[in-house]
Amino acid sequence: MNLQVVGCSHHQSNVAIRERLSFTEQQVRPFLDLFYHQFPKSEAVLLSTCNRTEFYAAAENPELIPSKQEMIKFLAQQRGLSIADINADLFAHSNQKAIEHLFNVAASLDSMVVGEAQILSQVKKAYQIAIESNDSIPLTHQVFQSAIRVARRVSNETDIHANRVSVPSVAIGVLAKQIFERLDNKKILIVGAGEMAEETLKYVVTGGGKDIRITNRTESKARELAKQFNGRVCEWTNLKEELATADLVVSTTGATEPIVTSEMFDHVEKVREQKPILILDLAIPRDFAADIGERLNVYLYTLDDLQKECELNRESRESEYPKAAKIITQETNAFFADVRRRSSGSTIAQLRQQADKAKNVELDRLMNRIEGVSEKQKKEIEQSFNRLVNKILHPPLKSLRDDTSNGSGSLLDALKKLFQLGD
């Protein structure tokens, strides 16, 4: 198996880079279609969330998988960027490191908020879209099903998810409390009606929020959310008017460009007359133009601003890290041991088939040249040939099995080259 991942995340890329490389769910399928047009013998998965964009490619034959530079070039082209624009902000992992990375991501050990629940469902969604784009992806099945299983094992065997917090919980429970002593007398506007909006509303209501307005381009989704949290639906076209009277705004849309520009906020600012407003922009790409936060009595926070608070959460869970990391290491090693076993099994079968073919040719040639041999004698001769083949093959095959069991796998390629075996 050959696996490669390139991407960016909150670890090394700021929000400006992440939003330029982000994809909506509707953009993922065309991305994969173009990939398969260019690399028809490879497999691909694209994972894009508010904190990361990761592009995975896999192929059985190393000559068929795109190189790191080819993947970066393809990613850049789909976002209308040059390689130079993004190269310094990307990471790349291959094979075992790529598997280990994916396992950490799925288990939420690589998240901004360690232990958050949303990432596993996002990994599953990326995997599901990959299946819908191409149902013939056996390597992807093997890799992502393993990642999902490992994430569940980490959840079951550690307390990494116990008393977990999320980006919305930090946004409401920490940042909102720094600005407002209470939420029960504040007008709260939720912009967007997806999973992030729903999770945020749970913390808003728990924190005492009562006057809740929800707006979304698709009004039916806003109505579903409003019914669930006893809120009111606002028309999307009245967004400026709602912003002019809101105290707390949480924006979580999937828009590809800011929905509130600096020019649009000029009108809002005039009506507000410098009344304080807290804006939690939890979207990637960002929903609010960055310079809005520079205005008087406007407190604009983005996902990058949550990083410090999330690091405190990470420190509080450090005691569980060694346990979770050990599971990831075990599972990564076990995954590749299984890959090597399968590969060595195929190689052994090919080698035996090759040896049996040569044996049968020589045995037939011998039987055609000698006369007066009884059936019993023919069987004895055949058994002698079989024993000879087995004795010759036993040492290299034993060495191969031992090497595979020890986790090396270095003899496998050597054996293929020596006996000219295929993959």
Q: Does residue 365 form part of some domain? A: no
pLDDT, residue 370, reads 86
Give the angle subtended at the CA of 116 by the CAs of 115 and 119, to the nearest 5°. 115
pLDDT of res. 114: 79
What DSSP line would sit under 209-247, residue for residue? Answer: --EEEEE-SSHHHHHHHHHHHT-EE--GGGHHHHHHH-S
- List Cα–Cα distances, 22 to 8, 17, 52, 267, 284, in angstroms: 10, 9, 8, 30, 7
Cα–Cα separations (whole angstroms), residue 152 to 14, 56, 119, 161: 30, 21, 12, 11
- Residue ending a domain, choose from 146, 164, 182: 164
Is residue 78 in some structural domain? yes
Structure confidence at residue 258 (pLDDT): 94
CATH code for position 85: 3.30.460.30
**pTM to 2 decimal places:** 0.72
Instruction: Supply 232's token pair.
Output: 């009111």
Judgement on whether residues 260 and 131 belong to the same structural domain of the protein: no
Q: Are residues 244 and 152 in the same domain?
A: no
* DSSP state letters, 120-175: HHHHHHHHHHHHHH-S--HHHHHHHHHHHHHHHHHHHHSSTTTT---HHHHIIIII
CB neighbours of residue 298 within 10 Å: 19
How confident is the chain (423 residues) per 10-residue block, as mean pLDDT?
A: 93 91 94 95 94 94 92 95 92 95 95 83 95 91 95 90 74 86 94 92 92 95 94 95 96 93 94 93 94 94 82 68 90 84 73 86 87 86 89 82 65 77 68
Instruction: Note whether 81 and 52 are same-domain residues.
Output: yes
CATH number for the domain spanning 187: value is 3.40.50.720
Phi and psi of 158, rounded to 5°? Answer: -135, 170
Say if residue 16 is in the same domain as residue 141.
yes
Alpha-carbon distances of 117 from 42, 122, 156, 162, 295, rounded to whole Å: 30, 9, 13, 11, 35
Within a domain: 359: no
* Residues identified as active-site: 50
Phi-psi region of 192 (alpha: psi -120 to 50; beta: other; left: phi over 0): left
- CA 72/CA 70 separation, integer angstroms: 5
Give the integer Cα–Cα distance in Å for 161 and 154: 9
Task: Return the closest-CA partner of residue 282 out of 236, 312, 248.
Answer: 248
Residue spans of beta strands (DSSP E) within 295-417: 298-301
Task: Tell whether 329 is covered by a domain.
Answer: no
146 and 25 within one domain: yes
Cβ atoms 280, 171 nearer than 8 A: yes
Do both 177 and 303 map to the same domain? yes
Q: Count the domains in the chain.
A: 3
Does residue 12 share a domain with residue 64? yes
- Claim to verify: residue 125 and residue 195 sit in the same structural domain: no
Fill in the DSSP letter of residue 415: H
What one-character DSSP code corresponds to residue 176? I
Q: What type of residue is 202?
A: K
Classify residue 88: in a domain, yes or no. Answer: yes
pLDDT for 221 equals: 94
DSSP state of 94: E
Specify the pairing of strand 248-251 against strand 277-281: parallel
* Element housing 56 (H / E): strand 52-59
- Altogether, the residues listed in the chain come to a count of 423
